[in-house]
Amino acid sequence: MKKISQILPLLMILVVIFFIYKQVLHFDYLWDDDLLIVDNVDLINSKLNWDILARPVLPGSSYFRPLVFLSWFIEFKLFGQSAAISHLVNLGLFLCNISLVYWLAYLLGKAKQKKNLVLLASFCAGLYAIHPIHVETTAWVSGRFDLMVTLFTLLTCILFISQYLKNKLNLFINFLIGLCYFFTLMSKELGLVVPILIFILYCAVSSDGFRVGFISFFKKYYTLFGFIGVFFIIYYMLRLSSMQETYHYPFTWEYYKTIVFEQQIPLYAIKQYFLQALLPFYTLGPIQPTELFTVRNLINIISIILIAIFLIYLTINAVKRNSFFAWMMLSYLVTISLVIFLIPISSGNNIIQERFMTLGLTFFVIGIVFTLSELGKKSWKILAITILLIWSIGAYVTTKSIIPFWKNEMTLWSWVHRIYPELATIRNLYYFSLLKYNHLDELISILDKEVISKGKALHVADQILYAKALLIKRNPESIEYLKGVISYIPEFHKMYPRISIDILSKAAAPYELTAMQIATVYDSLSIATLWFENNPELALQYSYIAEKYLEPSEKYPVFYNRIAFLKILGREQEAENLSKQISKIAMYRKDDNIQNVGKIIKIWCEINNMQEKCEN
């Protein structure tokens, strides 16, 4: 009966969250999902091998996260590539994390000899679960990196606190902690901070002072850190052999001089992460532009001074007074320490990203709830509970209102574009969504009205989308816009004898393009050249160039288009061989690619009056 009373509040929370989030089961893949999942056909077609798991998350990066790719591999092998299943797995991971937050809060309350442990743990799990920042990781399939690193980090913390409460070291438990630590590292680089979290948790529940506790911790848990050290070495060797480098961004004095000391970006980031955790009601979404949150005005200057004072206050209260609240807030800081610009990162010009809070919010919520539970007067406790309930209602309404925006790229980028219409990156993502969902007239009209009619030059990324929209509309002007892009960028495929996507991505970056975008230009130009210049030989050449800018698993749409060129050239055997080769490959929206072959030929016939040849 006692166990049922302990579990029942958690079950109620899980049921409520499931019904809030169940709509994500009808959502599509979006944003980076195309790059990581949809276009990564090796996850569906290949046998299990290290290369498909240990690939860089993004071209040109050293993000090494094989355990998450393994989860997608297993998912696709069992169920095929289905957005509904992918979202169901993410939702399941989120529900697991809520359960682990409940469990960890319960154990920490027990270690601190708190009363009403079930109530405390329920408040912690409930506030964590309803927080709006979880929409991104749960409704976006690529958010699985943060869900999985959170899962294994919380398991690590729970195992450690459980062992601490038993006051008896267990070799097998220490091994399991080390293994969970290894899994965190294999899920995301955030796992690097787990040993620090373990130490902070020890300090938070120990009655020893910091100095005594520091020494006793390493004396007591040397075996545990032996396992952690071994697993880290294994991870590092795997990472180095796969990525060929420790990290893809250089650590330079210029970076620290500009970003850290002159602009104080880390302090602005910390401020925003704390504000987002405490008041997640006014700046939400996948984009949080750095320039809008770091304006050098009096309010911001005062705010970062206060943040610096707050950090000093937390450190003193943790080290000198062994404050549980201070330790929890420091834990939150540790979980975001890799993404507050203390080390060079690519953040897409975002000051914060909500998914990076998935783990840290655990400690933030526990720190707040445990501190409020210590209020002495009954009236203060009633006030605290009232505030938490009002906050929860606001969080519920906010969460319910923003989940639908993640349904597909059209809904997502329309929402963000309404908030930040002046930002070029967001405009391009919005234009891309218009193209993807066939709102061609709207896209062409916007660019005609806002840019071309005013005599302005199109941004190169926008020009690619504009040209592709014209191409789909069979407008011959598209070829001039595509050639304009080609004349703007160097012929990277000729510049690098041993071409690789990493090299191409880094070379294209100064032109604000990706290798995939350049491939899109050449692929579109191949079709435009066929249709409007009736030159299938040159179209085929452009097709081969497009292939060079793509990963092996990304090339199949180009191959399908190439079949049309080969057929028009009368190279039927080559077309048939290529068709047989790629017909065995399972991929998302395969039928669309197959239909495109016939469409390309049909439109070429219509534009160039080749009906007789096409009928034959």
Q: What are 127-130's contacts with CB under 8 Å, separation 24+? A: 127/365, 127/368, 127/369, 127/388, 127/391, 127/392, 127/395, 128/98, 128/101, 128/361, 128/362, 128/365, 129/13, 129/14, 129/16, 129/17, 129/98, 129/101, 130/17, 130/20, 130/392, 130/395, 130/396, 130/399
Note the pLDDT tens digit of each residue in 510-520. 778 888 899 99
pLDDT surpassing 60 at residue 188: yes
DSSP code string of 22-39 = GGGGGPPP-TTHIIIIIT
CA distance 9 to 106: 12
Tokens of 326: 């201070």
The chain-wide mean pLDDT, for the chain, equals 91
Confidence of residue 128 (pLDDT cuts 50, 70, 90): very high
Alpha-helical runs (H) found in 81-170:
83-111, 117-130, 134-139, 144-166
Backbone angles phi, psi at 350, to 5 degrees: -105, 135
pLDDT surpassing 90 at residue 368: yes
The conformation of residue 51, written as its DSSP 8-state character, comes to: H
Alpha-helical runs (H) found in 209-297:
210-220, 222-243, 253-255, 265-278, 290-293
Mapping DSSP onto H, E and C, the string for 321-371 reads CCCHHHHHHHHHHHHHHHHCCCCCCCCCCECCCHHHHCCHHHHHHHHHHHH
The mean pLDDT value for 139-162 works out to 97
CA distance 80 to 45: 10
Note the pLDDT tens digit of each residue in 36-71. 888 888 888 889 999 899 988 887 788 899 999 999
Can you give the pLDDT at residue 612?
A: 66
pLDDT surpassing 90 at residue 452: no
CA distance 150 to 95: 12
Instruction: Give yes or no for a contact between 540 and 526, defined as CB atoms under 8 angstroms apart.
Output: yes
Of 77-81, 89-93, 351-355, 610-614, the least confident: 610-614
Can you give the pLDDT at residue 583?
A: 86
Of 137-151, 243-257, 431-445, 528-542, the least confident: 243-257
pLDDT surpassing 60 at residue 1: no
| CATH 1.25.40 for the 438-615 domain, yes or no | yes
Note the pLDDT tens digit of each residue in 369-424. 999 988 877 788 888 889 999 999 999 999 999 999 999 999 999 999 999 988 88
Give me the residue spans of the domains in the chain.
Answer: 2-405, 438-615
Task: Report the share of the chain in percent with pLDDT over 90.
Answer: 66
Number of Cβ within 10 Å of residue 149's Cβ equals 27
CA distance 311 to 507: 40
Can you give the pLDDT at residue 615?
A: 63
Angle between the 117-130 and 2-21 helix axes, to the nearest 10 degrees?
Answer: 10
Instruction: Give yes or no for a contact between 344 and 255, defined as CB atoms under 8 angstroms apart.
Output: yes
pTM, full prediction: 0.93
Q: How far is CA 247 from the centre of its chain?
A: 18
CA distance 81 to 355: 24
Of 9-23, 173-187, 357-371, 487-501, the least confident: 487-501
Whose tokens are 């209020």? That residue is 375
Can you give the pLDDT at residue 424?
A: 86
